[in-house]
Amino acid sequence: MARAAARRECAAAVTSPRKKQRRRVWRSARCTPCALTVWASLTSAPISSVNLRRRHAAFNLKASALWFAPPKCRKINPVPRGGRPKAPRGSGVRAGSVSNSSAGSPEGAFWLRPEAIAANRAPLCMDTDFSPASARAAILAKIAAAAKAAGRDPAAVTLVAVSKTQPQERVRGVLQTGQTVFGENRVQEAIMRWTDLRQEFPKMKLRLIGPLQTNKAKQAVAFFDAIDSLDRDKLARALADEIQRQGRALDCLIQVNTGEEPQKAGVAPKQADAFIARCRDLFGLPVKGLMCVPPEGEEAAMHFALLSKIAARNGLKELSMGMSGDFETAIRFGATMVRVGSALFGPRG
């Protein structure tokens, strides 16, 4: 009953323009979590013009309480029920008085303190000691060493910079090092990022390495230079129609789910041969090779070996496999493209 009365009093105070009533409710001993209680009660109420106004007012009150709270929270000593208020013996504090609580100390509510708010609002910035040119040179050196150890030509391995979700200044920094091949996961994100950068860096190539929906096939064919995630008949038919309609020469890679993980895209290894044949003969797609993403926690070498065998028996030369942590192993098993993200763009934060 007391809690319901406090909610009604809070709601009345939120909608009332009288500052005195607001101040009285805010200082009330029965209503310490004022803004949060009002917000919780109003969000479960039915939609109406009155409730909408109350929700907006309660939200503003809640935001004010969270962003402008002092470093130490106010603690109200409750008044004992019945008769005259009595102070607890030996406490030295009067009943009903307001005192500072250690709950608002940095250990208890650091996120309310000004330094925490400033840290929260601080923009994401790149490590000043990180150099994209040095990182790219180190990766290319590792690629060359791994290729020579496998008896291969280092020029036969292409570095694909995975720029998905990376800040624009980091992508520009990698572009300025001479990197020309990039991989993106989403069509819309790629269009927003690369529309202007393509005019500034016309030699760059863009590959779609993430799952593609059939309703985005038209945009993908028009914007990307290659589709590396072909994995089903419906998508193959949509890509074939768009490639013919737009008259573009677009390379395609088939994604194979070598770990047969249900949460991942890709055709199963047992169905890969039949799907490759359909893409070539039935849909007329320019299938150049295969792509895979090994399961986490498993030895990647066995998955790279499996993908190499499927490619060899189907006469495919391109193999996109290997990422930041295992691209040297992938080169040993015949990778012609390695996808590197964090090792090239640097750590976040």
pLDDT, tens digit (0-9, with 9 covering 90-100), for 183-206: 999 999 999 999 999 999 999 999
Q: How confident is the model at residue 342 (pLDDT cuts 50, 70, 90)?
A: confident
Give the range with max mean pLDDT: 48-62, 71-85, 313-327.
313-327
| The token pair that represents 181 in the structure block | 């091949």
Instruction: Quote the pLDDT of residue 123.
Output: 42
Report the mean per-residue pLDDT for the chain.
77
Q: Find all residues with CB under 8 Å of 18, minimum gap 6, and list them.
A: none
Domain map (residue ranges) of the chain: 2-75+92-121, 132-345
Task: Please give the CATH number for the structural domain made up of 132-345.
Answer: 3.20.20.10
Average pLDDT over residues 37-43: 43
Q: Is the pLDDT of residue 56 over 90?
A: no
Query: What is the pLDDT averaged over residues 150-166?
Result: 94
Residue 86 and residue 88: Cα distance in Å, rounded? 6
What is residue 20's predicted lDDT score, i.e. its pLDDT? 45
Residue 202's CB is within 10 A of a number of other CB atoms, namely 7
For residue 326, pLDDT over 70 is answered with yes
Given a cut of 70, whether residue 300 has pLDDT beyond it is: yes
Question: Is the model's pLDDT at 82 over the cut of 90?
Answer: no
On whether the CB atoms of residues 221 and 239 are closer than 8 A, the answer is yes
| Residue 308 CA neighbour count, 13 Å, CB half | 17
Query: What is the reported pLDDT for 51?
Result: 52
- What pLDDT does residue 80 have? 52
pLDDT band at 11 (very low <50, low <70, confident <90, very high): low
CA 219/CA 293 separation, integer angstroms: 24
Those residues with Cβ within 8 angstroms of residue 76's Cβ, 6 or more apart along the chain or in another chain: 27, 29, 32, 96, 97, 98
